[in-house]
Amino acid sequence: MNTYTAKKIGEVLAFTQVGNETLVKGEIALNPALNEEVQQLLSEYKNHETLIIENASAHNTLDAVNEKAEKTGAKIRKMRDLYLAEDDWMDAAELHEWLGFFLGAAIVHWTLVKGAAESLGDAKLIELAEIGIHFHENFLDTIARSIKEIGRESAQA
């Protein structure tokens, strides 16, 4: 595995970590909107983090992956914190809007990793990327359905 691929894996690790942090911080506002799905999402993010770290360790790229995850995570957190003011963390609509941006970007990054994995013929990394893509696509679908209901309810208030 080359440095480029290791860095891209570091980026998806950052999305996994920031996704987890965002759900933890926004859990109170999201739980009613997501029908108590937050705990399952948190569990899946933790599992993804473990799988990514195991993959990086197996390729002896853990240092490069962690270094890139730290840098990318800082950028994502900065973007999130620009979008979400402190009081927005209690607003399910604002959190859903942010998650729409975030999840779309996560899907694109995981798809890039899948392309690299296919080029390398790395079946385990392909499988990991497919897990990441599928998870984020499903999460985005959930967010889209949920925010539609928020819109309906808010229009009637």
Contact present, 77 and 93 (Cβ < 8 Å): no
Q: Which domain covers residue 108, as residue numbers? A: 3-156
pTM of the model: 0.94
- Composition of the chain by helix, strand, coil, percent to 5: 90, 0, 10
pLDDT in tens, 83-111: 999 999 999 999 999 999 999 999 999 99
Number of domains in the chain: 1
For helices 123-156 and 92-120, give the axis angle rounded to 10 degrees: 160
CATH code, domain carrying 66: 1.20.1260.10
pLDDT in tens, 17-66: 999 999 999 998 888 888 778 999 999 999 999 999 999 999 999 999 99
Residue 100 is encoded by which pair of tokens? 């729409």
